[in-house]
């Protein structure tokens, strides 16, 4: 399994509400302004100012509301399983590298750029 991080910096207008439904595990950071955060099932709310953070658990629903214009960064850690396309791409890359290594061991054709350069000829 491979983990990647997705990050977005969001500009929120006064009174705007953003819902992070079924969020991935991550962190919300206040950049400027103040935001009010509400978690589903949690009776206590949080207020984030610049530089303050709140950790979000996997699958948690979070609502972010801006008191005034504000900016927040939402970073989510996403775990991915390697899919068929990724495995195929790795196999094709390995096959290509094997081909390049074999070709490097062979002598270049007389009309190739590398052969001309080796003989001191002009390469266009």
Residue 57 lies in a domain: yes
Q: What is the CATH number of the domain that holds 53?
A: 2.60.120.10
The whole model's pTM is what? 0.58
Count up the domains in the chain and report the number.
1
Tens digits of residue pLDDT in 19-54: 887 766 788 999 999 999 998 888 889 999 999 999
Residue-by-residue DSSP string for 67-101 = SSSEEEEEEEEEEE---HHHHHHHHHHHHHHHHHH
Residue 30 lies in a domain: yes
Residue 61 lies in a domain: yes
**CB atoms inside a 10 Å sphere around CB 16:** 14
Let me know how long the chain is. Answer: 124
Residues spanned by the domain of 58: 2-80
Would you place residue 110 in the very low, low, confident or very high pLDDT band (cuts 50, 70, 90)? low
- The predicted model gives 92-96 an average pLDDT of 68
Asked whether the predicted pLDDT for residue 113 surpasses 60, the reply is no
Please report the pLDDT score of residue 57 as a whole number: 84
Residue 74 lies in a domain: yes
């Amino acid at each position: 399994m491979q983990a990647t991080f997705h990050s977005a910096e969001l500009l929120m207008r006064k009174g705007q509400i953003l819902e992070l439904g079924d969020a991935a595990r991550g962190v919300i950071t206040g950049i400027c302004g103040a935001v009010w955060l509400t978690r589903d099932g949690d009776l206590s709310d949080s207020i984030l100012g610049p530089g303050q953070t709140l950790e979000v658990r996997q699958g948690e629903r979070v609502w972010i509301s801006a008191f005034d214009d504000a900016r927040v960064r939402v970073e989510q850690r996403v775990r991915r399983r390697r899919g068929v396309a990724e495995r195929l791409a790795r196999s094709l890359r390995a096959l290509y590298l094997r081909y390049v290594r074999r070709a490097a061991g062979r002598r270049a054709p007389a009309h190739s750029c590398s052969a001309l350069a080796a003989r001191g000829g002009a390469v266009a």
